[in-house]
Structure 1
Amino acid sequence: MGNQPSSPQPGTKLQVIGAGLSRTGTASFSEALHILLQGPVYHGGTQACLGPPVEIKSLIKILDHFPPKTSSEKVLLLKLLKERYDGYAAVTDVPAYGLVEELLEVYPDAIVICTTRDPEAWVKSLGALQSAMTFAFLRFILFPVTGMRHFVTLVNGLTRQWIFRYGERPLDTRTYELHMEYLQRVVPKEKLVFFDVREGWGPLCKALGRPVPEGVPFPRINDAEAIERETKGMVVKGLVRWLVFFTTVGVGGLSWFLLK
């Protein structure tokens, strides 16, 4: 979260699979890739929450078929991934970081870059985000908001993906380590890069074989602030629409009673 949703550009080749977990600087990383690759970048959290309804629905559909139970479902999953990410120069954040092996089957020429962070700081940050996303009342509040009425369904799908990858365990530094082990297991060593966004342009440009953008500061997007801002905005929008609905129903009901 933090940047703006993007649209695919026909003919654009997907060059980077962002494998970093949420809350590892994925928004800053996405914007940096946009600058370097000069093409649209699909940041899952931003696309799902700020993009048109088709975005969140398509991610839910992908997660509905993961993990695939049959060879035909595997074919369908790869087809859905291609339909969703074709036209983008890179993909980052949810649910891509847990679909790296499958994405490499669809885009074998792409390199995998995993954004990193101090594991203990990551646990604290992601724990706060997970708590905010699992409030039971969100489904009701967000129902009047087009697209976002599916948000809880998306979270449920991401939870199933999370459990499949890391097991039913409390969020801890071992979870972070399990993700790193997963990447090292499914990604060829020569295609896997680890990158801390605090290091700026240098390591990223080296990995991509691109010159450092002259006079362009490395993007610094505060994911936590952006998520808090967008979450409050969505909740307020939902509450306002419910208020309008109940006010309209109330006025209509009163009119019917007075005319009866």
Structure 2
Amino acid sequence: MVEVIGAGFGRTGTMSLHSGLETLGYAPCHHMKEVLGNLGSTTVWADALRGDREALRTAVAGYRATLDFPSCLLWREMMELFPDAKVLLSVRDPESWYHSAAATIFNPVMEEVAARLAASDGAVTTDMMTAMAEHGFGDHGKDETIAWFVQHNKDVMATVPEDKLLVYQVSDGWEPLCEFLGAAVPQEPFPRVNDSADFAENVDRFLSDGSIGW
């Protein structure tokens, strides 16, 4: 059962948070990398994004936490399915977020990645991406895309009860996250993974030999 719903967009430190949550015992934690590692799941995610609640339940079955796309687009639906779950909204300066997203998940090179994935899985990945676009996912120009990001965060903060919400930046480290979850602070440093350089290296690896390292 999902206990932590990640409502923050990708490129807000979600890979670092993925490692952090799993270190705190919230494993497995769903992240877009789970989808890339199991392309068959894109069909159920496409259905979930189009309003099928049972498809959403199936998509997150067995996970204790969720982060990143596509699940963050369905944070309201996730709250309905898991009313006792806490909501973790990872945030970032909007300008910084846009530049990171434009260099990574919205980079034109990702079109080649998507094309190769579609060729390998019968285009079901393309259907999921189309369903995500129906929720606003994509680079629609700097101003519009930043407005989408900001409005999403405002909607989460205006909707989720204060006692169930943590608005969090990965630079905050372990303490606020552990206090929110009632967990002991680990001795190890908070993980820092998948910055823009890491992302570019993963894309290059995929395009050169087909391996997925996200």
Superposition TM-score tier, normalisation by shorter sequence: 0.7 to 0.9
The CA deviation at 1:78 is 1.7
Question: Aligned residues, how many?
Answer: 205
TM-score w.r.t. structure 2 length? 0.85
Identity among equivalent pairs (%) = 29
Give matches, 1:115-194, under 5 Å.
Answer: 115-128=90-103, 129-132=105-108, 135=111, 137-138=112-113, 140-146=115-121, 149-162=123-136, 170-172=144-146, 174-194=147-167
Q: Please say which structure displays the higher CA radius of gyration.
A: 1
**How far apart, in 2, do the equivalents of 1:230 and 1:182 lie?**
32
TM-score w.r.t. structure 1 length? 0.71
Give the aligned residue type for 1:29: L
Distance 1:138 1:35, change over 3 A: closer
Deviations 1:143-198 (A, max 9, x none): 44348x543333222111126xx9xx7322x3232012211233222211101111
* Alignment correspondent of 1:54: 40
**Residues 26 and 65 of structure 2 are in contact (CA less than 8 Å); yes or no, is this contact kept in structure 1?**
no
**How far apart, in 2, do the equivalents of 1:61 and 1:227 lie?**
27
**How far apart, in 2, do the equivalents of 1:210 and 1:225 lie?**
31
Give the aligned residue type for 1:60: A
Give the aligned residue type for 2:47: K
**Residues 40 and 90 of structure 1 are in contact (CA less than 8 Å); yes or no, is this contact kept in structure 2?**
yes
Deviations 1:216-249 (A, max 9, x none): 22111024233323322332346xxxxxxxxxxx
Which of 197, 200, 213 is the matching residue for 1:228? 200
Q: Which runs of 5+ in 2 are unaligned?
A: none
**How far apart, in 2, do the equivalents of 1:55 and 1:223 lie?**
25
* Alignment correspondent of 1:101: 76
Deviations 1:73-102 (A, max 9, x none): xxxx22111111121110001122121111
